[in-house]
Amino acid sequence: MIYLELFLAFLKIGVCTFGGGYAMLPMIMEEVEAHGWAESAALLDYVGLSESTPGPFAVNIATFIGESNGGFLGALCATLGVVLPSFIIILAVAAFFAKYSKSFFVKGIMSGLRPAVVGLVASAALFAALAVFGAGRDVSAVFSDRNTYVSLGIFALSAFLVFKPKLHPAAVIGVAATIGAAYGAIFGI
């Protein structure tokens, strides 16, 4: 039953992600791969579109994967799943709120989770890099492919724009999309 699967997968994602947004990516990748909900390249497309549309990243990506696999109802189940844990937890926390983030337990747990998230996002970056540069192919095929170098160039420019002038992610996506479209139209991909 696709609706229940979507709900449960995103419920799990909602429970396990601290730090929001990209911290969710490794687990989303894991679930999407396990259920065959999207190709890894398509998942990167969803991430790009989620960054260029308003709203919380997690909700965007849940709705996206839900809709593309189960239509409106699928989107509803996935979004409900990703939102429900934080809704319930905050309802509980709001009561004894001030003490919460200073409590021994929370401090201890967070001292383990902060580094964990760094490691997880690094693994997401590796996963994304493999998808962008066409993993699964022969190494020599990757290096003799013109597209590899163009991707590398767009990546370098995007990284520069996002780190140096601190351009908004949606604007960086726009620039990269334009370059990609122009390159494809002129040289073919």
Partner 1 sequence: MKKIFELFLTFFKIGAFTFGGGYAMIPLIKREAAEKKKWVSEDDIMDIVAIAESTPGPIAVNAATFIGTRTAGFPGAAAATFGVVLPAFLIILGVSALFRITSDIKWISYAFFGIRAAVLALILNAFVSMYKQCPKNLFSYVLAGAVFVLAAFLKVPVAAIIGGCAVFGLAFYALCGRKRE
Q: Which of 6, 32, 77, 128 binds partner 1 (CB under 8 A)?
A: 128
**Phi and psi angles of residue 144, each rounded to the nearest 5 degrees, phi first:** -90, 0
Distance CA 28, CA 16 (A): 11
State in angstroms the smallest separation of the CB of 102 from partner 1.
9
- Radius of gyration over every alpha carbon of the chain, rounded to an integer in angstroms: 19
Annotate each residue in 29-48 with x if it binds partner 1 (CB under 8 A) or - if it does not, as one string: -x----------x--xx-xx
Residue 82 as a binder of partner 1 (CB under 8 A): the answer is yes
CB of 7 to partner 1, least distance (A): 15
For partner 1, the binding residue among 4, 39, 73, 125 (CB under 8 A) is 125
Q: Does 2 sit near partner 1 (CB under 8 A)?
A: no
CB of 36 to partner 1, least distance (A): 16
The interface with partner 1 within residues 137-156 (CB under 8 A) comprises 147, 151-152, 154-155
Distance CA 32, CA 77 (A): 15
Nearest distance in Å: CB 1, partner 1: 21
| Residue selected from 105, 140, 144, 164 as contacting partner 1 according to rule CB under 8 A | 105
Residues 6+ positions from 170 with CB-CB distance below 8 Å? 51, 52
Please check whether residue 90 is in contact with residue 14, taking contact to mean a CB–CB distance below 8 angstroms.
no
Complex with partner 1: residue 6 or 124, whichever CB lies closer: 124
Q: How far is the CB of 140 from partner 1 (least distance, A)?
A: 21
Using CB atoms within 10 A of its CB, is residue 147 exposed (0-12), middle (13-18) or buried (19+)? middle
Q: Rounded to an integer, what distance in angstroms lies between the CA atom of residue 42 and that of residue 130?
A: 13
Nearest to 66 by CA among 87, 90, 83: 83
Q: Should residue 178 be labelled a site residue for partner 1 when binding is judged by CB under 8 A?
A: yes
